[in-house]
Amino acid sequence: MMEPSEWEGSVGTKWAQEWRRTDRSFAGLTDRLLGYARAEPISSVVDIGCGAGELSLALGRSHPHAELLGIDISQDLIEAAKSRAINSPNVRFEVADAASWRSETFTPDLLLSRHGVMFFPDPAAAFANLRRNAEPSARLIFSCFRSVDDNPWASGLTELLPPGMSQPPQSMVPGPFAFADRDAVEAMLGAAGWEDIEFTAVDFAYIAGTGEDAVADAKSYLLTIGPAARAAAELGPADQAAFVRRLDKFLESHLDGDLVALLAGAWIVTARAPASR
């Protein structure tokens, strides 16, 4: 389980430092999400758990007359996003918790998130708050990982750890796979007042490393952020060294030219706020 305070502290700091490689790793999924977002007119958007702001900035470029607000609980990630937005006058970022966020002057007709919603301690309450602060019939679009079995990048890394180091993720417990269970997510969103809930399974290439030494690039990235980094940091020196050797071989087996790509599986979830409040 990941606590929100971790994103406000060291985890958020590391992700802010790694936004370029994070954006690269999710590039295939990002394109799909933006396609969903652009399928209907938009005028005001909230990017939930916006991280370093890639979705907000992309929509800001393609919709110069729309207003976009990215929110995240990490000050470091918001600062990284702001530094990228100096030539995007219709995009702004602020430190805020989506579970309690509200604005008297900004009512979104689109609520969007790339993997930024699986860490709410009380997901139903958070999504109910977002629905209350949205326009009637506003769209909700977000991505989240499917099961570990649908994500060979995660299951493959887990198999490299010493026995007993990893526990199966629990549905609705904050973490990368909290929203893997489609039925649980649908029930939660329905309880939060969202309608027309739909799920699309998307497989994409998780780009872990590129360049002349793509394996070294992938290794340094995976040992900096994500579940492998978290687990490796808990190992003693000998076990950690053995894990890194196994990680090298695993990444080499996924090397294709100057690219290390691992298979990942996500849900793209869509829903609508009721037509009247």
CA quadruple 36, 38, 55, 111: dihedral sign:
negative
Please state, in angstroms and rounded to a whole number, the distance separating the CA atoms of residues 33 and 28: 9
Torsion, CA 30, CA 121, CA 165, CA 208, rounded to 10: 10
Please state, in angstroms and rounded to a whole number, the distance separating the CA atoms of residues 109 and 134: 6
pLDDT in tens, the chain (277 residues): 455 556 666 788 899 999 999 999 999 999 999 999 999 999 999 999 999 999 999 999 999 999 999 999 999 999 999 999 999 999 999 999 999 999 989 999 999 999 999 999 999 999 999 999 999 999 999 999 999 999 999 999 888 988 776 777 788 889 899 999 999 999 999 999 999 999 999 999 999 999 999 999 999 999 998 888 888 888 899 999 999 999 999 999 999 999 999 999 999 999 999 998 6
Q: How far apart are the first and last CA of the chain?
A: 34
**Domains in the chain: ranges and CATH:** 4-147+167-207+264-272 (3.40.50.150)
Please state, in angstroms and rounded to a whole number, the distance separating the CA atoms of residues 95 and 277: 27
- Interacting residues of 198 by C-beta distance below 8 A, sequence separation 6+: 269, 270, 271
pTM: 0.94
